[in-house]
Structure 1
Amino acid sequence: MTTTAPPASGVRHAWADLPAAVRRAVESVLGSPVVETRSQSGGFSPGVAARVRLANGGRAFVKAVSAEVNPGAPDLHRAEARHTAALPPHAPVPRLLGSYDDGTCVALVLEDIEGRQPAVPWDPAELDRVLAAVGALTRLLTPAPIDAPPVARREASMFRGWRTLHAAGGSPRLAPWAARHLGALAELESGWAEPATGDSLVHADLRADNILLAEDRVVFVDWPHAMRAAPWFDLLAMLPCVAAQGGPDPEAVFTAHPLGRGADPEGVTAVLAALTGYFVAHSLRPAPPGLPTLRAFQAAQGAAALDWLRGRLDHRLR
């Protein structure tokens, strides 16, 4: 297995880099001073992401971002705080212990999970474990137990990548097959919303760096993008990243999985087209502040998704 995606990483800052007022506020939530920190490299959040040990022996996970580094990051942390606090207590998700928000800097204090991210390239046994956990998570979160936006609204501005590229006359950086069929891809993408609609609460950003393998369970972290969608949405959305990180053929995995077996094939293809267009179109944009590897990561996901989509469409697009 080969890995084409670069590491999922943003610009990390140390605990000591946080303003003193933010550190004091976090320690107030924790109820004890921080005496040791270990910065975590996985994930795109452009700020602090650290496991902390406290003077009283306790542990926690702290993540913090500032609008001065990335203007959009604080709103994502606010959404994550809302969603995480509302999730059922038995969900395999870190508990939110508290938060801090001064309008510019937002910090979340979360339960520190004793676990590790899956190996990349993906190990087949670990992937099987995660795929089973994705199915269990979907069953637990159907019907959606919290108020979250529907996928048709949440992704309306994102899932129009092919249409945006088509209206702009294409791009010389497009893969030849995509450039040749850009009009057909734009038309196919336009029908994504209805089949993607459903009443399952989905994570919508499952990747290896948002998953922790604990001894007795799989834990899903980072929930800012949670929304209501079809029960197979998370499975479909994660598989291009799995493929780009050394995993197996996404078509084989999706159609063999209980969530994928019952999905309407035409609807799946339309949603996959929209997801692919999102990755491809966004990979062509300049890098956002504090996220220097994001576009290359999206390009790798887009290439894997495009291969999957082309396989589903080769009978009708030559």
Structure 2
Amino acid sequence: MTPRATGVRAPYDAVPVAVRAWVDSVLGSPVVTVAEQVGGMSPGCATRVTCADGTRAFVKAVGAELNPDSPTLFRREILALTLIGSHQSWADLMASYDDGAWVALVLEDIEGRHPDLADDTDMDLLLGAVDSLGVLLGERVPDPPRPAPWSGEGPRPAALFRPGLCDLSETFRDWLDAFDQAHELPAGQVPSWVIERQTVLRPGVAALLDQPTDRLVHFDIRDDNLLVRPTGELVFLDWGATGIGPDWLDPLLARLERVHLPWFDASVVRSPALARAGDGTVTSWLVGMGVTLAWRAHTQVVVGLPTLQAFRRAESARFLSAAARRLGI
């Protein structure tokens, strides 16, 4: 299946010669064939490579010239994979490269397919795997390192684009800022009920800042970031958004492919972590995320990601529609 989140990627031969030479050196044999992969929003390459001696690997590389924020996400993925070590639930990091402008990862090449999350079998596989992932990450990294507070000059960047792990408490603060400005959006960017009920909805979005943020979380669980091995195990890919957040966050993300269906509401109740968080928290998360995506789609200038704004608008509409259903609107 083709993932819903699909950007425009640079091919491997567009990666600087120095980076490709480093890949050859790391793998111990020159790359002779490449297979470009689709899915995800990064403008960098995502390439399965095969070397002259038969060695295979998966290479990701991006430069600031393609998008100024993407190298930060790649550096975070390197940090995350270093923290969690080796396991069959994700691709092993074989080597990393960073010359200040370009960042690259050489990863274990995983055979598999993207799951079809409209299929009950694949969805059940994901829900079980994401619960196991939460336990595993807690065991591997019980005290994840917090990023330093932002101290740079100029406007404060979104938490996702600051160095280190993503601090979800800061992300929720970003969401509240966007929510407070939602009335400035042109008509039609968010449903009218959001603006009409802004005062009523605000305490729920603000309460997200009070959620405990002490667990290592993947924070980017979508079909394009998952593979099912031929033997049936699920593999979590793309750790560039990895953060410190609440234990219910990844179980929530795992269910978002069906957020438009009543199935989502019933499934949330069956999840121990989401049941502890409560229905109100889940609905406020959908409101906060939905409004933030609409705000960013309208206000941010995005370099090198031509499909991102349309994706943001589509996801915003899905999340806010689900929130409306849950609120009885």
TM-score w.r.t. length of structure 2: 0.84
Q: What is the number of equivalent residue pairs in this alignment?
A: 307
Cα distance change on mapping 1:34 and 1:307 into 2, 3 Å: same
> What RMSD over aligned residues (CA atoms) do the two structures have, in Å?
2.5
Q: Does 1:305 align with 2:319?
A: yes
| Alpha-carbon contact 1:159-1:275 (below 8 Å) kept | no
Deviations 1:201-250 (A, max 9, x none): 11111110011111241111111211122211112234334446xx7632
Residue 53 of structure 2 corresponds to 56
What is the DSSP-based 3-state SS (H/G/I as helix, E as strand, rest coil) of the residue aligned with 2:240? coil
Residue 220 of structure 1 corresponds to 236
The more displaced of 13-22 and 278-287 is: 278-287
What is the DSSP-based 3-state SS (H/G/I as helix, E as strand, rest coil) of the residue aligned with 1:249? helix
Structure number with the bigger relative contact order (C-alpha 8 A, sep ≥ 6) is: 1
Cα distance change on mapping 1:36 and 1:248 into 2, 3 Å: farther
Q: How does 1:152-163 map to 2 (within 5 A)?
A: 152-163=169-180
Distance 2:121 2:29 in 1: 39
Which residue of 33, 37, 40 maps to 1:36? 33
TM-score w.r.t. length of structure 1: 0.87
| Alpha-carbon contact 1:98-1:108 (below 8 Å) kept | yes
Q: Does 1:129 align with 2:125?
A: yes
What is the DSSP-based 3-state SS (H/G/I as helix, E as strand, rest coil) of the residue aligned with 1:160? helix
Deviations 1:223-280 (A, max 9, x none): 1211122211112234334446xx7632122222333233333333333332222223
Distance 1:276 1:240 in 2: 12
| Alpha-carbon contact 2:91-2:110 (below 8 Å) kept | yes
Residue 201 of structure 1 corresponds to 216
Residue 229 of structure 1 corresponds to 245
Residue 289 of structure 1 corresponds to 303
Residue 255 of structure 1 corresponds to 269
Distance 1:280 1:250 in 2: 22
Deviation at 1:187, TM superposition (A): 3.7
What is the DSSP-based 3-state SS (H/G/I as helix, E as strand, rest coil) of the residue aligned with 1:272? helix
Q: Does 1:182 align with 2:198?
A: yes
| Alpha-carbon contact 2:24-2:31 (below 8 Å) kept | yes
Deviation at 1:192, TM superposition (A): 1.0
Cα distance change on mapping 1:118 and 1:53 into 2, 3 Å: same
Deviation at 1:149, TM superposition (A): 5.0
Identity across matched positions, percent: 36
Distance 2:70 2:301 in 1: 14
Distance 2:166 2:4 in 1: 30
Letter of the aligned partner of 1:270 in structure 2? S
Cα distance change on mapping 1:217 and 1:257 into 2, 3 Å: same
Distance 2:58 2:89 in 1: 16
Residue 265 of structure 1 corresponds to 279
Distance 1:184 1:138 in 2: 33
